[in-house]
Structure 1
Amino acid sequence: MPKQKTHKGTAKRVRVTGSGKLMREQANNQHKFEHKSSRRKRRLDQDQVISPADTKSLKKLLGL
């Protein structure tokens, strides 16, 4: 049986913490900053934990 390949698109967007949680970048934090408030930009800068409902399917894509 062939090896399972890692889904590279997912691997570039998701990282695994030491405790096994999956983290992702917050959306809307790439460009057009001049009309966003400082408070909003600080909030967007933080990584988000992926919900438990999505974790199972994403771990499969990552080969975990």
Structure 2
Amino acid sequence: MPKQKTHSGAKKRFKRSTSGKLMHHMSNYFHKNVKKSSKMKRQARRGKELGGGQEKVITRMIGK
């Protein structure tokens, strides 16, 4: 049976952290940043941990 191909969209949007957590970028970061507070922009730069049952699905899509 052939190997499952990596989902290209998921590969671009999700990354594994050094501790093994799945990370993703927060929304509302790249457009109309003048009206956003410094705190909001700083927190969006850091990224966010993926939680819930989504991690299992994305892990299967990435193939790691």
When normalised by structure 1's length, the TM-score is 0.88
Paired-residue identity, %:
39
For residue 4 of structure 1, what is the aligned residue in structure 2?
A: 4
The SS at the match of 2:15 is strand
Structure 2, unpaired ranges of 5+: none
User: Is residue 7 of structure 2 the alignment partner of residue 41 of structure 1?
Assistant: no
Structure 1, unpaired ranges of 5+: none
Q: For residues 52 and 31 of structure 1, do their structure 2 counterparts lie closer, same or farther at Cα, with a shift above 3 Å needed?
A: same
Runs of 4+ in structure 1 deviating by more than 3 angstroms, as ranges, are none
Q: CA RMSD, aligned part only?
A: 1.2
Report the count of equivalent residues: 64
